[in-house]
Amino acid sequence: MSFADGSLAGRRVTVRVPGTTANLGPGFDTLGLALAIYDELTVAVRDEPGAFVEVDGVGAGEVPTDETNLVVRAIAHTFAAYGQELPGLHLTAKNVIPHGRGLGSSGAAIVSGVMAAKGLLEGIVEIDPLGLLARATELEGHPDNVAPALFGGLTIAWVTPEGPQFKKLIVHRGVSPLVLVPEETMSTALARSLQPESVPHADAIFNVSRSTLLIAALIQSPELLLAATEDKLHQSYRASAMPETDRLIQALRAEGFPAVVSGAGPSILVLCSDPGQRLAAADLVAARTATPWRSLVLAVDFKGATVITHPDEVE
């Protein structure tokens, strides 16, 4: 079914997507965690062709406001994947997730678009969870951020010949994330370019053991988080591009705080085992740096992305 008959006229959806932190130390390109910080998006079908985007908050005046906007491209990609014609769109975005700091802002934008498409196509095309993950991964390139943004909680993501797959796990209630956000940004492409083509066999084994331990620590035994967040695959190679991040992570870990680079950085994720440890970590950073770092005391998001349709507006 196409939209030549005007079946989308009057449709409007509201999407809410959490920020995410990927890798979590040793789980490079595999593990991701959804955080309770959200971008919200409203998409309405309009009579005029093309797309018009209004942005409030993070990225206002910076991100494109036409068809080149990443959210619009994600909507268009999803419509095309299911053989549907894209209508004219009016998007209103309220952005809170910091851009370029390792908190999954691009993944959230992509997931916002995929979920908006799902809502707009309700009753015409049904998109299941693996379909959502596949469409988002096609745009993002890897599923470690888009999986937790879509499904919430702690996710393990992997790719098969049939497409990306995921497993969602519920995080132990004692796990208390703290994200430390600097003023400067980091390009994910630059961070990835610093990775070597291969790593020593011993380092690969080290990360297999730590990533396995990390799953146990996050879902059952938070007291193991310091040992479980050790990594030899990516953080040391990227340290030269974000020296202040690396210095603070070393200082935090030396005092017993499970600190790692959040995603591609330069933000720092501290996976504390209780709220008191989280406040002590924030105090340490405030005392050890002269540059501004914003402390985000966040819960784990367990719900993931949501979409609300407004059927009363459908003709």
- The residues with which 159 forms a beta bridge, in sequence order, are 164
Q: What is the spatial distance between Cα 218 and Cα 220, in angstroms, rounded to a whole number?
A: 6
Please give the annotated binding residues, written as ranges: 98-108
Name the residue among 99, 116, 191, 192 with its Cα closest to residue 150. 116
Q: How far apart are the first and last CA of the chain?
A: 17
Please give the annotated binding residues for ATP, written as ranges: 98-108
